[in-house]
Chain A
Amino acid sequence: MLSIHNLHASIEGKKILNGINLEVKAGEVHAIMGPNGSGKSTLASILAGREEFEVTEGSVDFTGKDLLELSPEDRAREGVFLAFQYPVEIPGVSTINFLKTAINQIREYKGEKPLDAGTFLKTMKEKMKLVEIDQSLLNRSLNEGFSGGEKKRNEIFQMAMLEPRLAILDETDSGLDIDALRIVANGVNKLKNPDNAIILVTHYQRLLDYIVPDHVHVLYKGRIVKSGGKELALELEEKGYDWIKTEQAEIA
């Protein structure tokens, strides 16, 4: 589904990604871990189409299409979804406000008829239950005055509404209390199916107890330096990143 090949990227002349290779197949869950500043959010942003980053080398193929050629909105319409690490506050625009337009844009792109108000409402009610989010939150200005947990829950609610093929969750677990973590994880698990894939960016094993990954990768200095199964996450939890950093220093 997603195939990243030798991806290099920089911002204002500063190199951030230094040759990322990653293969994600339908039905898989990948976890990306790594120390602060290693480039995880940068990778996620580039996949979503943030234009500030300059891709200097490499390619990204998404379901047979050159992802890097597509505008951010066309990537969303193709089924890429990013749950932001730091979702923006937008005064005067509520989630409900833009979500209906978003869904209908995606439908139009796929040649489907716009959703009627009734169906939209029904779907919304269902998904609200799934992530246990309150309607009042969806009517408020996006993220304005939301608690950290509410922001993250709202991101997952949007994911549930948009039903993406590839969901990238950037530290969605940060700032969630234990109950919220479980709710969000359950929501994600219910959305998981053989036709979609999930990339989880996280610092903690905790989340991976709930959403069990098929592959775990360690990103360090803009490169994937280690990949493994779910046991790699346990090892990292126990030992930290120092051993990886040492290993890398020895190679270099």
Chain B
Amino acid sequence: MNLATPTTDLLHHYHAALLEHHSMMTHPLHGLSDQLNKDFDVSKWPTTRHEEWKYTSLKALSQIEFSLEASSDSKKLKSYLESLPFYHTEAHHLVFVNGLFHSELSRLIPSEEKTVSSTYVHASLIPEQLAKVIGISCPAERDELRKLNNLVLHDGLSIQLPKGQTATQVYVYQLIDSEQPFAVHSRNLIHLAENAECKVVEHFAAFGNKSHWFNPTTEIQIDAHARLEYCLIQTQSDVGFFTGLSYLRQSDSSQLSHHTISTGGRLIRNNLDLILDGSHIESHMNGLYMLTNDTLVDNHTLVDHQRPHSNSNEFYKGIMDGKSCGVFNGKIFVRQAAQKTNAFQSNRNIVLSPDASVYTKPQLEIFADDVKCSHGATSGQLDEESIFYLRSRGLSHAQAKALLTKAFAGEIVERIPQPELRAYIEQQIDQRF
């Protein structure tokens, strides 16, 4: 392709290799994915000249030579999983390694096979169900990253819950373990029919010192009166990249609690789109990012109130140390029909080091007149008065700071329903501060 500039040469090669690879085999989602846009155009690769990518440069990512092959060490993965407190719980545990389902490390509940499984399994078991969800995020595909995902469609979580059913708690582990730089473009497809309910935790982690990249797309349809609890945990190292889109559509009286916890990585970009296509919807979005070194975390969220009488509540908190950078962009649309909307947004940041930075931007576009919307963003240091108070009781300066930082994070952590997960996140915080 003549448009390719030297900085995107490697991406161009990567894409060409993917195309060749996929032309030689029949994809497990063949037939379901036909309408997805796979026309990746390297010349449209996001740069900081694009408003949506102003603070988040993908340059470093585009200069990695990703391999299509990966070999993993099951023993190492097993011992890692066993170190996670929630891996031992009675639940569905779906482990994906380098984009493929790992049956040995996974534990599924056979009686729920038709409701909770991997996307590839469901594609052959209940393709007509998947057809209803796959591609619902098309309107939100704003960039070339999604097209790569559409092309590759690595395996991911599928939940297809019929009316009134409740699934057992689901844990998903997306792992990369490779001796070469490797990328996973996983696809999760979730549909909760009327009055169905489930809780999902999706954990991302990678091993080794080679660059890795998670580029997942998650599509979720929540029908009337259904309830979903979704927690995303990103614990990558300083060679880890993450660019994901979670697209959720909610109908009347449905409930959502979504949490995004990021503890590390080199660059994390989360796009969370919430389409509130109904009345009396209750949506909560919480986020916590705790960053050190050169980590950049960019949360772009969008809440689209399309109909009257729904509530959305967004609460993101960041703790920035080292030279890290936190970006928050929160869009709220309230359409003309969406009278009596309550939309709340808050982004609070603590900057522990003079070299860390925060860019936060609320973006409210309100076309209805009878609505309650509020937003607030703060960024600052820990409260000196509180530090002095604790020191005057005998705590060291470091202890006082750690305690206050944990308390700041605690406000998000306490909203997570699973005790094992809270314990894990608290443990991550303890190691950090």
A172 to B386, CA, bound (A): 19
Centre residue among B386, B393, B406, B407 by max chain A CB count within 10 A: B393
Majority SS at the chain B contact face? helix
A105 adjacent to B392 (CB under 8 Å): no
Chain B residue at minimum C-beta to C-beta distance from A90? B386
Q: Does B114 contact A (CB under 8 A)?
A: no
Q: Does A72 contact B (CB under 8 A)?
A: yes
Q: Does A162 contact B (CB under 8 A)?
A: yes
A165 to B244, CA, bound (A): 58
Q: Which residues of A contact B399 (CB under 8 A)?
A: 101, 105
B386 adjacent to A72 (CB under 8 Å): no
A162 to B390, CA, bound (A): 13
Q: Does B433 contact A (CB under 8 A)?
A: no
A176 to B422, CA, bound (A): 39
B391 adjacent to A162 (CB under 8 Å): no
B135: min CB distance to chain A, Å: 42
Q: Which residues of A contact B394 (CB under 8 A)?
A: 73, 76-77, 101-103, 105-106, 109, 162
B388 adjacent to A162 (CB under 8 Å): no
A146: min CB distance to chain B, Å: 14
Known: A73-B396, A88-B383, A91-B411. A101 touches B391 (CB 8 A): no
Chain A residue at minimum C-beta to C-beta distance from B413? A92
Q: Does B359 contact A (CB under 8 A)?
A: no
B407 adjacent to A92 (CB under 8 Å): yes
Chain A residue at minimum C-beta to C-beta distance from B407? A92
Interface size class of A (residues with CB under 8 A): 20 to 34
Q: Does B45 contact A (CB under 8 A)?
A: no
Interface size class of B (residues with CB under 8 A): 20 to 34
A93 to B400, CA, bound (A): 10
A187: min CB distance to chain B, Å: 18
A97 to B395, CA, bound (A): 12
A101 adjacent to B383 (CB under 8 Å): no
A49 adjacent to B389 (CB under 8 Å): no
Q: Which residues of A contact B397 (CB under 8 A)?
A: 71, 73
Q: Which residues of A contact B390 (CB under 8 A)?
A: 90, 93, 98, 102
A91 to B348, CA, bound (A): 14
Q: Does B4 contact A (CB under 8 A)?
A: no
Q: Does A220 contact B (CB under 8 A)?
A: no
Beta-carbon contacts under 8 Å, B373-427 to A: 383, 385-386, 388-397, 399, 403-404, 406-408, 410-411
Q: Which of A77, A84, A90, A106 is B407 in contact with, Cβ under 8 Å?
A: A90
B395 adjacent to A87 (CB under 8 Å): no
Q: Which residues of B contact A162 (CB under 8 A)?
A: 393-394
Known: A98-B403, A101-B399. A90 touches B389 (CB 8 A): yes
B393 adjacent to A90 (CB under 8 Å): no
A92 adjacent to B395 (CB under 8 Å): no
A93 to B394, CA, bound (A): 15
Q: Which residues of A contact B386 (CB under 8 A)?
A: 88, 90, 93
Q: Which residues of A contact B393 (CB under 8 A)?
A: 76, 98-99, 102, 158, 162
A2 to B97, CA, bound (A): 67
B403 adjacent to A50 (CB under 8 Å): no
Q: Which residues of B contact A93 (CB under 8 A)?
A: 386, 390, 403-404, 407
Q: Which residues of B contact A76 (CB under 8 A)?
A: 391-394
Beta-carbon contacts under 8 Å, B22-57 to A: none
Q: Does A48 contact B (CB under 8 A)?
A: yes
Q: Which residues of B contact A72 (CB under 8 A)?
A: 388, 391-392
Beta-carbon contacts under 8 Å, A70-87 to B: 71-73, 75-77, 81-82, 84, 87
| Known A72-B391, A73-B395; further 5 A-B contacts with Cβ < 8 A | A71-B397, A90-B389, A92-B410, A101-B395, A102-B394
3 A-B pairs with least C-beta separation: A92-B407, A76-B394, A72-B391
Question: What are 9 A-B pairs at a CB distance below 8 A?
Answer: A72-B388, A73-B394, A87-B389, A90-B390, A92-B407, A98-B393, A101-B395, A105-B399, A106-B394
Interface set of B (CB-CB < 8 Å, partner A): 383, 385-386, 388-397, 399, 403-404, 406-408, 410-411
